[in-house]
Amino acid sequence: MFPNLPGSGPVRVPAQGDFAMDENRIGDRPQSAKPGRNYGIDLLKVIAMLMVICGHLLVHGGGYAGSSPLTLRFEAVSVIHAFTFSCVDVYVMLAGFLHQNRRTRPEAPIGLWFTAVFYSVLCPAVLKLCGVEIGVSDILKGFLPVTTEQSWFFSAFFVLFFLMPALNRVVEDRRLARVTLAGALFCFSLLPILARNVELFGLSGGYSLLWFMVLYLCGACLGRWGPPAWLTQRRAVLLFVLSLLLTVFAGNLLYLLRDTPVGRIWPRNFFYNHTSPAVLLCSACLVCIFSRTEVRSEKLRRALQTLASCTFGVYLLHDNLFVRDLLITGRFATLSEQPVPKILLVLLTWTLAILAVGTAVDLLRDRLFRALGVPRLAKRIARLAESCFAKLFP
């Protein structure tokens, strides 16, 4: 990936990021630790995926059900939820951080598409063979993961790939990048706070391509120019903790004000939002912290490199609509009734188990893709598409 980043100044980052959201091309797995790679970013990728899984267990699994606000158990779950909520922002920021000074390979989105199709088709097909009632049409829909809304994250990220070159041109000019990013953050992060319950700019709470573009710019600016000189590691950690606590505190305050005009304008979960300034700040702090984190153990480096390259597959597997409905939805409805230590233990155990299984499956997928020549096919499709466009637009 790249060496440890300085506190400020321009940063030149070698290429990293591909079909599996890693520098290794589709079908390639790390054989040895690379000396120029930033393993702190690999570590953050893995942590971000753990946050994704844990967040899904709480939201889709019903981890909030059965508990009352302002109780110890509820607040413990709220802190965990607030921590995991920055996972999406972190993941997309990392894309900007890693891709900001490199030419996006045209086969990259094609490889992502093949990976998404693999999980969108395989998961319902396997479940149907196991006796789950799933229609053939549901399996066939998996071949068009974007148009059939198999995964909102993949849909937005897939389109983002085609916009990366234009966004990178913005970041090349520091003044233009600063003005563009400041305007974007004001319009898409601060203004929604003042808009009450009105949906602005089609942001959909951050579940949108538009917000992904803003996050990409944030990450790209951090990758190219480095964190601000004043944002030391210690200050970044402190700012992260304060932003996290602010999210939880704002939620509790709005709950207490639920019967007042303020509470009717802003519901309790208003700040549990991907476009929230506090969530955005948490995400940026995490990127700054881990981009300057050293991992010295050779064995840990290799493990992180492998795990990081599988994170996208882990997401596609566990958040597949049919897998989620069967294994996650409503399965943790009684979790918040348990003692806090048991809540932490259950969430940690299930999160690590899903990561382990998802990683194993994605490693098998990678071997299968290599055996079938999928990487070469993606390159051929990309070259064919490029030649066609070259003839249409000489």
Per-residue pLDDT band for 343 (boundaries 50, 70, 90) equals confident
By CB atoms closer than 10 A (0-12, 13-18, 19+), residue 273 is: buried
By CB atoms closer than 10 A (0-12, 13-18, 19+), residue 339 is: exposed
The pLDDT value given to residue 66: 59
* 156-195 per-position pLDDT tens digit: 999 998 899 999 999 988 899 999 999 999 988 888 777 6
Per-residue pLDDT band for 35 (boundaries 50, 70, 90) equals low
Residue 39: pLDDT over 50: yes
For residue 24, the 8-state DSSP code is S
Residue 289's nearest CA partner among 95, 111, 115, 43 is: 43
For residue 32, the 8-state DSSP code is S
Residue 31: pLDDT over 80: no
Least confident of 60-74, 285-299, 341-355: 60-74
Residue 170's nearest CA partner among 82, 269, 258, 99 is: 99
The pLDDT value given to residue 65: 64
The pLDDT value given to residue 357: 95
Per-residue pLDDT band for 11 (boundaries 50, 70, 90) equals very low
Q: Supply the pTM of this predicted model.
A: 0.85
Percent of the chain with pLDDT over 70: 86
* 40-89 per-position pLDDT tens digit: 999 999 999 999 999 999 888 887 665 667 777 888 888 888 889 889 99
